[in-house]
Amino acid sequence: ETGVTQTPRHLVMGMTNKKSLKCEQHLGHNAMYWYKQSAKKPLELMFVYSLEERVENNSVPSRFSPECPNSSHLFLHLHTLQPEDSALYLCASSQETTSRSNTGELFFGEGSRLTVL
Partner 1 sequence: DQQVKQNSPSLSVQEGRISILNCDYTNSMFDYFLWYKKYPAEGPTFLISISSIKDKNEDGRFTVFLNKSAKHLSLHIVPSQPGDSAVYFCAASARGGADGLTFGKGTHLIIQP
Q: How many residues does the chain have?
A: 117
Q: Quickly list H helices, 1-117.
A: none
Site for partner 1 in 28-87 (CB under 8 A): 33, 35, 40-43, 45, 48, 50, 55-56
Smallest separation (angstroms) from partner 1 to the CB of 100: 6
Question: Near partner 1 by CB under 8 A, which window of 12-20, 63-71, 77-85, 97-105?
Answer: 97-105
Size, binding site for partner 1 by CB under 8 A: 29
If one asks whether residue 100 binds partner 1 (CB under 8 A), the answer comes out as yes
**What type of residue sits at position 79?**
H
Q: Cis peptide leading into 42, omega within 30 of 0?
A: no
Nearer to partner 1 among residue 1 and residue 100 (C-beta): 100
Provide CB contacts within 8 A for 59, sequence distance 6+: none
